[in-house]
Structure formats: C-alpha cells, structure tokens
Chains A and B, each alone.
Chain A
Amino acid sequence: MIPGDFQPQKPTGTQLAKLGVLGVVLLGVFIGIVLVLTFVISSWLGRPVIFGHDGPEQPIEFPHETHVKELGMDCTFCHRNVEKEAAASVPALGLCMTCHSAVGDELEGITKMRSLYEDGRSIHWVRVHRVPDHVHFVHEAHIRYFSEKEGVEAKAVCATCHGEVAGMDKVRQNRALKMGDCVNCHKQNNAPTDCVTCHY
C-alpha cells in the first residue's frame, strides 16, 4: 500500500442506518411529488389520469343501462328541457314515480326514493359535468344544430359530448370540456368564436 493512498472507510452501523432513513424519506418525497402531479394533471384535464375512471358515487344508484338499453327510453324523456332550454335538467321525482310507484319494489334505492317523494323532498344528485367558470353552455342550441345538420333525433346527439352514457356503470365525464375542446368544435362547425358567445 502506498503511503497517503486513499482508503475508503467502511461505513459504520449508524451511518448505514442514517443513509437508509434518508433513502426512505427521499423515496416518500418522490412518490408524493408524483401523486401531486397526477392530481394536478387530472384536474387540468378534467378527468382522472390513472385511477378513478368511474364517475362520482350518487345518493341512489341510477342504472342508465337498465333504463336506456333495456327499456329503450329516450334521453329526452327524463332530461326534458334539453331541446328547449340551456340546462338539460334532471327530472323531479314525480316523473320517476309514474313508473316506480308500481315497479321496483325489491330495490333498496326505490324504497329510499319513495320515502323521499312522500316527504316532498328531492334527491341531491352529485354533479358530474361542469364547464369552467364564467361559461354559459346552452344545450338547446347545440342539440338543434347537430340534429339538423345530421338529420337525426335529439337523443342521437347527446353522445357527441357525453359518450355512451347507457353503457356507464356510474355516469362520468367523457370529454375534457375545456375551452380548447369547445373552440375546436366551434371552428370545425363554423360556429361563432366571439368571446361573448359563451362568456358573459
């Protein structure tokens, strides 16, 4: 051995323990950053990137599959204002009760709904679709334009933005509904892109 040569010291037990703790902490920080980034990107896109593709939990399960696919009901049967007004509207319980005063005795949700109806209360559905702030979206105008353009009924237009709701277990947002999304579509269809068309 040459005198003065560099001799790596063997790490002692405490040093090893310290390094181990540091490694675990750094790993934790790294995972934290990744989670935060996922959250930020998800909220920016308006939909989950990795997990949670399902829509929010609703107070009462409403299977669109049963109502639309199996029974063949129109979207416009329940969302009655969609061809007339800005909001598509969720129906009052009275409309549900036209069938469900007789149908669905064995279901827990129906029992809950009936008791709410008798008390004169309503179901507080959790909102699924939300456009950004300061935006006014009008269902009527969009439904009218697309059904005239493609010569189809109103119910065939809904899927353009909402996706195949009939196939969703829990209704979830299908498109980003960000401004870029809206403006692209407006440009493709020669719709006005003046700010005040939506922002007022």
Chain B
Amino acid sequence: MVDSNKWGMVVDVDRCTGCQGCVVACQSENNIPINLEEHFNQRRAIQWIRIERYWEGEYPDVKARFIPIMCQHCGNAPCEPVCPVYATYHNNEGLNVQVYNRCIGTRFCANGCPYHVRFFNFWEPEWPESLKNQLNPDVTVRSRGIMEKCSFCVQRIQRSTRESERDNEVLEDGDRGLNPACVNACASNALIFGNFNDPDSTVSKMKEDAMQEGGRGYRLMENLGTDTNVIYLKKVDGSVEVTHGY
C-alpha cells in the first residue's frame, strides 16, 4: 500500500496490432459523440485514444506500424498554464484533469498540446434514438463549446477506490475495475495501466526495466520535457526507418 497514487500507463508498441479495439471501447465508455465522415474531413473528430498508422519500407516490402496515442498526462503539462480559468490542472494522483464546468472553450490548451489529444466540442453531441440508453451514467455528456480529453477513465478509478475502501481491501494492481476501458479491451495486452508510486506494480517494474540503459522505453516527444505518465516500449524490430506517414 502506498500513500499516494501516481497513475500511469505503459504502451508496448511491439504488441499493438492496430485493431482499434481500444478506440471503440473508449468511445462507448466515455460517451464520446459519433464521429461522422464530415467530422474527420474537418479535422474535428473526437477520439480520446487513436491509433496512428505509419508505413515502413518500400513496396513490395511494406510494413504497417501502429502506435496508440492518448493524453499523456504530462507531469509538466503545456496545456495547464495556458488555461485562463483553471479548467485543466494536475491533481495529486498524477492525473491531468479536465473540469467541464469551468471550461469556457478558449481552446488554448488544444493549441498548447503537442500530442494533439485534446478535442473541442464543435457541436452539441447527438446520438440516434436507439443509442440513447447506452450512454454511461458515470460520465458527463459534454455539451457544445468545451474541451475534452482522455481522463484515464477517472470514473473507474474513483469507483474502485471507493469500493476497496468499503470492503477494506487494498486496491489491486491490474484490477479490471480499475483499468481504463482501452486497457481492458486490448486483446494483445499492449496497454498496461497501474500505479507508478507502487514499486511492486507491473507498470513500475516495466518502467524500471525499460528506462534503463539499452531498454526499450521512451516517452513521446521527450525533448519537450513534458515528463509524461505514459511510457512507450519501442518495437523490437527497429531496423527499418520510418519514411513517411500520417
């Protein structure tokens, strides 16, 4: 048991098959509005987690590479200081929190974020009548004009913390109730969620192993000094260089 939690994730790019299971799971867990083709064309689609696809090599020896990207929950987040109303801040559990009630929709944070993981609600979200009852009651439906982003499924963290307190149990590492929806949905265990402050947790061990000299670990855009809470493990076959992608 540790005094304070620092939630984080390890993403093993070597295991990712690009199946988009995490994207779908996130979409349904977090009441994310349905992205239509026109929304993508306008670059206004909302995807808290997305799979970026890169092509490696020249035809006929082409390989598709995938990398899941979600909010990195930066320890030194570029989105936080630019918010004029403190709608986004860092809480003591290492989460970069978005407070919907405070947000006035300046979109400064989205411009500040180098990972492109903050999304603005350009429209009032709409669901077809048949899908109205599938909305998750534990998550707010965001209205038009405010920012949203990955919350590491904070509703699940809150629920499992509360339930472990109720039953006098220790919050288990890798508990399915605690894990974000994307982690549970990942078929190849490419995403692992846990507490970095707990030295016995899977993520702490993986981080320690990966970040040492010669390890596979890296952070996205590490040179920016954002001190992210998401650690990526690079692909084992790293012989081919990325030539182009989108």
Contact = CB atoms under 8 A, between A and B. Distances in A.
Interface of A: 86, 132-134, 136, 138, 140-141, 144, 194-197, 199-200
Nearest to B102: A195
Contacts of A133: 101, 140
Main secondary structure of the interface of B (DSSP, over half): loop
Nearest to A83: B166
Interface stretch (B42-50, B68-76, B87-95, B169-177): B87-95
B158 interface: yes
Contacts, number: 44
A44 B91 CA distance: 29
A199 B158 CA distance: 11
Q: Name the residue among A197, A199, A200 with the largest chain B CB count within 10 angstroms.
A: A200
Given A194-B91, A195-B91, A200-B155, A134 B100 contact: yes
Contacts of B144: none
Interface of B: 89, 91-92, 95, 97, 99-101, 138-140, 151, 154-155, 158, 162, 165-166
B162 A136 contact: no
Contacts of B158: 136, 196-197, 200
11 contacts: A136-B155, A141-B166, A144-B165, A194-B92, A194-B97, A195-B89, A196-B97, A196-B99, A197-B158, A199-B99, A199-B101
A143 to B, nearest CB: 10
Given A140-B162, A140-B166, A196 B140 contact: no
B101 A196 contact: no
Contacts of A199: 99-101, 140
Contacts of B162: 138, 140-141
Nearest to B146: A134
Nearest to A84: B166
A95 B124 CA distance: 40
A200 B95 contact: no
B140 A200 contact: yes
Contacts of B140: 133-134, 199-200
A89 B134 CA distance: 19
Given A134-B101, A197-B158, A199-B101, A144 B166 contact: yes
B19 to A, nearest CB: 27
A144 B161 CA distance: 14
Nearest to B138: A136
A196 B166 contact: no
Nearest to A179: B101
A132 B101 CA distance: 10
Contacts of B99: 195-196, 199
A136 B154 CA distance: 12
Given A138-B162, A200-B139, 20 more contacts: A86-B138, A132-B101, A133-B101, A134-B100, A134-B101, A134-B140, A141-B162, A141-B166, A194-B91, A194-B97, A195-B89, A195-B99, A196-B95, A196-B99, A196-B151, A197-B158, A199-B100, A200-B140, A200-B154, A200-B158
A197 B99 CA distance: 11
Contacts of A194: 91-92, 97
Contacts of A195: 89, 91, 97, 99
A194 B100 CA distance: 14
Contacts of A138: 162
A196 B139 contact: no
